[in-house]
Amino acid sequence: MNLRKFLAIMLVSSVVAAGYWGMRDDADSGPLETGPAVSSHSSLLSGSAALLPLPPVPALPAEKVALGKRLFFDTRLSRDNTIACASCHQLESGGSDRLLVSVGIDGRQGSINAPTVFNSSLNFVQFWDGRAASLEEQAAGPVHNTLEMDSNWAEVIAKLSRDEAYNRAFGQLYKQGMSGETIVDAIATFERSLLTPNAPVDRFLEGDQTALNPLERDGYQRFLDYGCASCHQGAGIGGNMFQRFGVMDDYLRERANRQSDLGRFNVTGLDQDKNVFKVPSLRNVAVTPPYFHDGSAKTLDEAVIVMGRYQLGRELSEDDVKALTAFLRALTGEWEGKRLQ
């Protein structure tokens, strides 16, 4: 065993024993990000372990949510009036587009897999590389990205201001009226309403011991015992730390140095941030294929096997994969009263 693998094994072991692991990318990145305590052997599988139930939808101004929802589906945010936020974050498809990479105006392909918009308010930063500190900052990105909407606020506002319903709504809700700042504020407010409650795991964490069947409970136990919860933890079951893709082995070794594979390095320029990404939330993961920043895992089974091998240094058995994927499917919640599919 080489030194890197030995150290990685020791690190994972210490994470499970100590109760949590936060990771930051450099000395100037602020306070260490940590999640809730991780139980190393939670035989009770109670809410005191690594995972927390989804919080309730926060109290939000209904008029602002409605305005943000309309903007979320409005293609006029794009230069050629063809792409909306909902084009890549389809609420009927788990909040993503289920494509390897998303398609913007003029058929332009992006460079990275679109994450789900559901429960994104629980993330400590936005985008795979964490370059946006808030939902507002994230909402502005696609408007200006040449591969996505390829527009700017002057063009967007010129189009939207011809719509009297928009003028009235912005005038009533914001003293400054319509602007880039108020547009993204409304969109982010709507996105904060996009929580997906009532997953079987949430009901279990809230005390319903019948909410998980024996296979799902077995998968949850393995999820804790194998150290998955050292990174996928808290109410988001992820989304609250950075981590290297390939702790135990280099998953990206055979690739050319694509910019999208560099992850956090594209933000900080620090060598230690190469191949480091925001740990994704696992909520609704069963309905948001393909997986990873590059969409390289087409199925949930494949993604679980890769995670075991490259993040935990463990070759998962068929029983492991069956149990773990059963547990992951139990993380699927509801939107507007219907379970996501």
Catalytic residues: 148
Angle at 266 between CA 264 and CA 267, to 5 degrees: 70
d(Cα 229, Cα 221) in Å, to the nearest integer?
Answer: 10
Task: State the DSSP string of 31-59.
Answer: SPP--SPPPSS-TT--TTSSB-PPPPPPP
How far is Cα 110 from Cα 148, in angstroms, rounded to an integer? 7
Q: Quick one: angle between helices 135-144 and 180-192, nearest 10? A: 120
125-138 b/e with 16+ CB inside 10 Å = b?
A: bbbbbbbbeebbeb
* Three-state SS letters, 77-127: HCCCCCCCHHHHCEHHHCCECCCCCCECHHHCECCCCCCCCCCHHHCCCEC
61 upstream amide cis, omega within 30 of 0? no
Contact 158, 149 (CB under 8 A): no
- Residues 279 and 239: beta-carbon distance below 8 Å: yes
Neighbours of 221 (CB within 10 A): 17
Q: String of b and e for 157-195 (b: at least 16 CB within 10 Å)?
A: bebbeeeeebeebbeebbeeebebebbbbbbbbbbbbbb
Identity of the amino acid at 228: C
Size of the chain in residues: 341
Query: For 50-75, b where at least 16 C-beta lie within 10 A, e where not — what string?
Result: bbbbbeeeeeeeeebbbbbbbbbebb
